[in-house]
Structure 1
């Protein structure tokens, strides 16, 4: 059987926008200061890339103004001269399944910059953000992050945020959320959620990875887990090769989660890389590595099918907007 070497890929997390905000002269199309560029997306067959709005709250005060600045960078440099179409609605996701096109999506990594104001959350939705990751490792006004030792759940205002997301169609992302918050969200949310860039803790014990119980909960709700290429999330000790990612795939499949696997590289959020997965142009080689060991239908699901099916089912509909 002849296989098409250019596989279709969806990647659910990168941190390009914070670099564009810090260095406005960066050219998204081919700048060497970026892991993710338009040229590399094309080389790797990445037809959908999710771009996170990330504010480094450990170094500077988060503000809504800084969120707006990164959204503007996406509008002008990624969806503008960068040439990617903007995916916001379930109808567009359904179209993407049948008609591959280079597209980008917006997510928010940590709600610190919303300043506890749900009107700001609504503005983000109207400006095209479709995923909210509640925390980035530490506590904020909504919930505790995974590195907070107290392992707290949601605050009262955080619960209001969850309810607003359920009503508006904004999807939720539990990567970085403390375990107590994960389980509270699993009980409170009426919609499935994702972990955009997390791996299996049973394979690599980093606290950012998910326990088997958390993975089973995502499977039960038909959520998604985006396996990430952060070396110290892939292999204990941090010296990882592309083949080490397969151990996470196999473990999640052993739990019944083949249909929930996707990828969330975290490119441009790291300063060292998995050998063989240094940038999105490497996805083509990674696809061949997967195809050498697993059925083609399963590989296509992991690379793009599971992600697009989730979006086509769970994104808000353009037809019912006011």
Structure 2
């Protein structure tokens, strides 16, 4: 009975501002534990009840293949996570609708929530373009090229070699462009980042922060942030405590520091959020799960105008999505 999904309609409440969250690992957590229900679970940072109560408008669901999965099984695991998305997430409520682009989101009714599939790292496709094309046909709207280490596309940020895009990696970026797919630079090597900036039509960093504020290699330095802004890409401030503060613990005020810094570099219209909820075990004080967005919104409204906060939370990502 625990595996079944039931239709629910939960009364709306929470924040009055719409939210676009560009990264979560809900599918990974549900893949690890098939007994978890997306409807309402204390085991999930993001669940249907939390999305509805906190006024979510678009939630991205990443396909993340852990390093422990054998290479020859990774595409199968990606398909298993997509099956979870279509069998255990989308059917949970008539409020949830698959979205792939801006037009899909703009077509949502006021009480509907868009669910978007993304790929976190191309490990699942190996060096096989047909596998990427298959994932795109199944609904993937954003492709992260690496996790932290090397694959056939590029090196990740923790790979000592630090190589950029391979020949196959250039083909992947071209394929993304051809199908109006976002290319995600979170986790990629520094050289790979610059290769993407040069060749991608829709570059984003779905869940990365400012290196100037927190010296974690997963964060972007000022030159990288300025370059994403210059090509009209998006930067999703993430809630990973280790990416927010060198202390290793973080509060909402630490999130605000990264927002302030990116805005100071000219990123007011290129900034959003990518929580990484359900991909983290440690959380920000006051942002323990999706409901914590309310506290973040209240803090942002103390320092920014409401129209700016609306852009950070939703409109910037919407405006940068392919039509």
Normalised by the length of structure 2, the TM-score is: 0.92
1:146 aligns with 2:176: no
Secondary structure in 1 matching 2:281: coil
RMSD: 1.5
Structure 1 position 133 matched with structure 2 position 167: no
1:225 to 235, 240, 243: 235
Map of 2:195 onto structure 1: 184
Q: Name 2:85's counterpart in structure 1.
A: 74
Whether 1:103 and 2:111 are equivalent positions in the alignment is: no
Q: What is aligned with 1:42?
A: 52
**8 Å Cα contact 1:43-1:284 kept in structure 2:** no
1:241 has 2:246 as partner: no
Q: 1:163 is matched with which residue: 174, 182, 196?
A: 174
* C-alpha distance in 2 between matches for 1:259 and 1:250: 13
Q: CA deviation at 1:36?
A: 0.7
Secondary structure of 1:41's partner?
helix
2:313 aligned partner: 303
Do residues 18 (structure 1) and 28 (structure 2) align?
yes
Give SS of 1:13's match. coil
- Where do 1:304-319 residues align within 5 Å? 304-311=314-321, 314-315=322-323
Moved over 4 A (4+): none
The correspondence for 1:282, drawn from 292, 312, 321, is 292
Structure 2: stretches of 5+ with no match in the other structure:
1-13
Structure 1 distance, partners of 2:15, 2:123, is: 42
Contact 1:199–1:228 (8 Å) recurs in 2:
yes
Unaligned segments of structure 1, at least 5 residues: 316-322
Shift of 1:78: 1.1
Deviation of the 1:94 alpha carbon = 2.9
Q: 1:100 & 1:219 partners in 2: Cα distance? A: 32
1:60-110 superposed Cα distances (whole Å, 9 cap, x missing partner): 4452111111011000111112541110133213334x8462111000001
Residue 27 of structure 1: which of 24, 33, 37 is its match? 37
Aligned to 1:273: 283
- Does residue 1:57 correspond to 2:63, yes or no? no
Residues 240 and 283 in structure 2, CA contact (< 8 A), matched pair in contact too = yes
Quick one: which of 93, 100, 110 aligns to 1:88?
100
Q: How far off is 1:9 after superposition?
A: 0.7
Which residue in 2 is equivalent to 1:320?
A: none
CA contact (8 A) 1:6 1:284 kept: no
Aligned residues between the structures: 308
| RCO higher in structure (CA 8 A, sep ≥6) | 1
Q: Structure 1 residues 5, 184: closer, same or farther in 2, change over 3 A? A: closer
